[in-house]
């Protein structure tokens, strides 16, 4: 998967987050931070391994958290996790 496709998934997540009115403020802030972390990971810069593990762990946790209440967000997060894996992140 190319980085452009990952950027497209990030844009999709941003749109879904904007449209999801029932996401509480703490969850919204977490997702916004995760989007920034994903963008940092995807830009190809040298990222410490512990930061990569932390970001991917948080992505997985967020995916599970939103699975029942926000399935679209959860599905997009899952796709982002897969995309990061395909990029070797």
Chain segment 65-76, per-residue pLDDT in tens: 888 888 888 898
- Averaged pLDDT of the chain: 81
SS3 content of the chain, % helix, strand, coil (to 5): 80, 0, 20
Lowest mean pLDDT of 2-11, 18-27, 43-52, 77-86, name the range: 43-52
CA distances from 81 to 7, 21, 25, 28, 74 (A): 13, 24, 23, 18, 11
**How confident is the model over 2-22, as a mean pLDDT?**
83
**Who has greater pLDDT, 46 or 53?**
53
Question: What Rg, from alpha-carbon coordinates, does the chain have?
Answer: 12
List pLDDT tens digits, range 48-89: 667 777 777 888 888 888 888 888 888 988 898 888 888 777
């Amino acid at each position: 998967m190319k980085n452009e496709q990952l950027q497209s998934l990030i844009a999709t997540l941003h749109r879904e987050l904007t449209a999801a009115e029932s996401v509480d403020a703490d969850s919204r802030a977490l997702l916004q931070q995760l989007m920034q972390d994903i963008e940092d990971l995807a830009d190809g810069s040298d990222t410490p391994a512990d930061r990569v593990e932390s970001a991917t762990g948080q992505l997985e946790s967020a995916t599970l958290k939103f699975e029942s209440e926000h399935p679209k967000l959860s599905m997009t997060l899952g796709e982002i996790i897969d995309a990061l894996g395909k990029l070797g992140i």
